[in-house]
A and B are shown apart, each in its own frame.
Chain A
Amino acid sequence: MSVSARPRSRALDSPAPKVVAARHPWRWVGIVVASVLVAQFISGLVTNPGWDWATFARFFTARSILEAVVVTLELTFYGTVIGFALGIVLALMRLSRSRFLEAVSWTYVWAFRSIPLIVQLLFWFNISYLYEELRFGIPFGPTFIGFDTKDLISPMGAAVLGLALHQAAYAAEIVRSGVISVDHGQLEAAAALGIPRARQFRRIVLPQAMRSILPNATNEVISLFKGTSVVSVVAIGELFYQVQVIYGRNARVVALLMVATVWYIALTTLLSVVQHYVEKHYAKGATRNEDGWKWAR
């Protein structure tokens, strides 16, 4: 036996063996089972006359439904914008050095998270029975100016108020969670550079907090969007209310519920797509390898 001084490349001595991928027979079973179930579901949708696609098609883009979709989007928009604006303020109060502001914020979140949304909505809707007039003046003393509550808070106003105040409590906690997730060193660096406080928040903290705020915030927007259906209890003509009105007249319950369902699914999908791009925007500089960024980080 001899020992060669130079290491030889052993791979070249014989042809490279062929690689056989691992087999996964159960995957194929799973695929077959899933395909059969999907096919059955689709066949049910097509063949079962109970779905009543003709009615669906007639109402899906009916004027009354489209108007209701707009109302639903309006409620979602105002609820989100006012809710998150107030939520940011509440989060900042909670994180401030003032014990007073912290207590106010905590109490708000406690109160509005404790009361069911539907109760709040009914309450705001009925506020004009409780307080017929809103008056500004000295408590127990003279009044300077007074309004009729009914004029001040319309049913739509009551709905927006209820949704936004409810949303603000949740938004506050989401924003707070994002802010406290930012590395403390970032604040120290900003403070050491003498960057003004508001600018520190807007330019340094918030963009970094957005990365953990966004997935939760989108959840909230989507849940608010579907949650607007609760507003039907106060007879606002949003999507779900409108659908109920129509099937109350023509008794095509399933077809009309599908009209609402498909609208909710379509718009939620749109929101998810928007979420993807907004998240991508805030992921700038977050990874070492920019090309590696695909669907997840």
Chain B
Amino acid sequence: MGEVMVDVLGVHKRFGDNEVLRGVDLQVSAGEVVVVLGPSGSGKSTLLRTINHLERADRGLVRVDGDLIGYRQRGDKLYELREREVLRQRTNIGFVFQNFNLFPHLTVVENIVEAPVSARRKPVAEARAQARRLLERVGLSDKESAYPRHLSGGQQQRVAIARALALEPKVLLFDEPTSALDPELVGEVLDVIKDLARGGTTMIVVTHEIGFAREVADTVVFMDDGVVVEQGPPSQVLDHPQHARTRAFLSKVL
């Protein structure tokens, strides 16, 4: 594994009275695939959303490839970045949502070229050519000019992955990418993610698919109640969990 790509340090987040993250530390190396497991409400999604600053951490720091996300540090003070700068940082962090969130009024190819053209100022022709390559990669070459609502859930999620990849991000975050899909469509999306993992993309995947974690993850992270309970290679965390809470969770889902 290469140098540290994502560095999460002591992140806290509270929504009203509910403390969702209570000091999370996580390091992800370049090229590493991290799968985050945990019961619902354990803070997995919130952790993912603090990494690209969709949620602002109350305390703690996030660095992606050395860049402090959302702040500029000068001396012992953190200065909040302006929105424009945060948006620029996010172009390095791909995010795939549970509900796809494709833009329904734009065609598949328009969905994919939107960010490269508007955020990266890539020439349209170049962005379109890249979009076609990405669609081929996710197996949807024939859907270029379809609208999202004309696609199945699995196809929509594959478009969403292609859209995230179009920015050539340094890390890809998946927030329960298959939870909104019918069971028979889960496989096609996981196949695309596996393919990316083999290609050396750095990723953090929040999921409930234990089989996927076992097959693809370099590191499995188990979260409960806003903290990382244990982490390690899948053979260790899934087969020989050290912690009672991990055992209790796995006994319910396996």
Partners in one complex: yes
Which residues on A are within 8 Å of B, measured CB to CB? 183, 185-186, 188-197, 199, 203-204, 207-208, 282, 284-288
Q: Is B54 an interface residue (CB 8 A)?
A: yes
Q: Is the CB of B95 within 8 A of A192?
A: yes
User: Within the assembled complex, what's the spacing in Å between the Cα atoms of A61 and B231?
Assistant: 84
Q: Is B90 an interface residue (CB 8 A)?
A: yes
User: Within the assembled complex, what's the spacing in Å between the Cα atoms of A287 and B105?
Assistant: 10
Which residues of chain A are near B149, meaning CB under 8 Å?
A: 285-288
Q: Is the CB of A284 within 8 A of B147?
A: yes
User: Within the assembled complex, what's the spacing in Å between the Cα atoms of A189 and B119?
Assistant: 13
Which residues of chain B are near A287, meaning CB under 8 Å?
A: 149
Q: Is the CB of B84 within 8 A of A208?
A: no
Known contacts A286-B105, A286-B149; is-contact A188 B87 (Cβ 8 Å): no
B 187-205 to A, binary, CB cutoff 8 A, 1 in contact else 0:
0000000000000000000
5 nearest CB pairs, A to B: A285-B147, A189-B101, A194-B91, A193-B115, A192-B95
Q: Is the CB of A193 within 8 A of B90?
A: yes
Q: Is B46 an interface residue (CB 8 A)?
A: no
For chain B residues 121-175, which have a beta carbon within 8 Å of chain A?
A: 147-150, 163-164, 167
Told that A195-B114, A285-B150, A288-B149 touch, could you supply 4 new A-B pairs with CB distance under 8 A? A188-B54, A193-B119, A195-B115, A195-B118
Which residues of chain A are near B115, meaning CB under 8 Å?
A: 193-195
What's the A-B contact tally at a CB cutoff of 8 Å? Answer: 79
Which residues of chain B are near A207, meaning CB under 8 Å?
A: 105
Which residues of chain B are near A190, meaning CB under 8 Å?
A: 103
Q: Is B27 an interface residue (CB 8 A)?
A: no
Q: In the complex, what's the smallest C-beta–C-beta distance from A227 to chain B, in angstroms?
A: 32
Q: Is the CB of B107 within 8 A of A194?
A: no
Q: Is the CB of B97 within 8 A of A188?
A: yes
Q: Is the CB of A285 within 8 A of B114?
A: no
CB nearest neighbor in B for A208: B105
User: Within the assembled complex, what's the spacing in Å between the Cα atoms of A255 and B80?
Assistant: 70
User: Within the assembled complex, what's the spacing in Å between the Cα atoms of A207 and B103?
Assistant: 10
B 6-30 to A, binary, CB cutoff 8 A, 1 in contact else 0:
0000000000000000000000000
Q: Which of B52, B89, B118 contacts A196 (CB 8 A)?
A: B118
Which residues of chain A are near B114, meaning CB under 8 Å?
A: 193, 195, 203-204
Known contacts A185-B97, A285-B104; is-contact A196 B54 (Cβ 8 Å): no
CB nearest neighbor in B for A197: B83
Chain B interface size band reads 20 to 34
Which residues of chain A are near B150, meaning CB under 8 Å?
A: 285, 288
Q: Is the CB of A185 within 8 A of B90?
A: no
Which residues of chain A are near B83, meaning CB under 8 Å?
A: 197
Q: Is the CB of B107 within 8 A of A199?
A: no
User: Within the assembled complex, what's the spacing in Å between the Cα atoms of A97 and B148?
Assistant: 31
Q: Is the CB of B118 within 8 A of A189?
A: no
Q: Is B42 an interface residue (CB 8 A)?
A: no
User: Within the assembled complex, what's the spacing in Å between the Cα atoms of A87 and B98?
Assistant: 35
Which residues of chain A are near B105, meaning CB under 8 Å?
A: 207-208, 282, 284-286
CB nearest neighbor in B for A192: B95
Q: Is the CB of A191 within 8 A of B87?
A: yes
B 178-218 to A, binary, CB cutoff 8 A, 1 in contact else 0:
00000000000000000000000000000000000000000
Known contacts A185-B97, A188-B101; is-contact A285 B107 (Cβ 8 Å): yes
Q: Is the CB of B87 within 8 A of A194?
A: yes
Q: Is B106 an interface residue (CB 8 A)?
A: yes
Known contacts A287-B149, A288-B149; is-contact A195 B104 (Cβ 8 Å): no
Known contacts A194-B119, A285-B105, A286-B104; is-contact A189 B97 (Cβ 8 Å): yes
Q: Is the CB of A185 within 8 A of B118?
A: no
For chain B residues 59-85, which have a beta carbon within 8 Å of chain A?
A: 83-84
Q: Is the CB of A208 within 8 A of B104?
A: yes
Q: Is B243 an interface residue (CB 8 A)?
A: no
Q: Which of B87, B95, B97 contacts A195 (CB 8 A)?
A: B87
Which residues of chain A are near B91, meaning CB under 8 Å?
A: 193-194
Q: In the complex, what's the smallest C-beta–C-beta distance from B83 to chain A, in angstroms?
A: 6
Which residues of chain A are near B147, meaning CB under 8 Å?
A: 284-285
Q: In the complex, what's the smallest C-beta–C-beta distance from B47 to chain A, in angstroms?
A: 15
Q: Is the CB of A193 within 8 A of B104?
A: no
User: Within the assembled complex, what's the spacing in Å between the Cα atoms of A288 and B114?
Assistant: 22
User: Within the assembled complex, what's the spacing in Å between the Cα atoms of A285 and B150?
Assistant: 8
User: Within the assembled complex, what's the spacing in Å between the Cα atoms of A286 and B87?
Assistant: 28
B 89-113 to A, binary, CB cutoff 8 A, 1 in contact else 0:
1110101010101111111000000
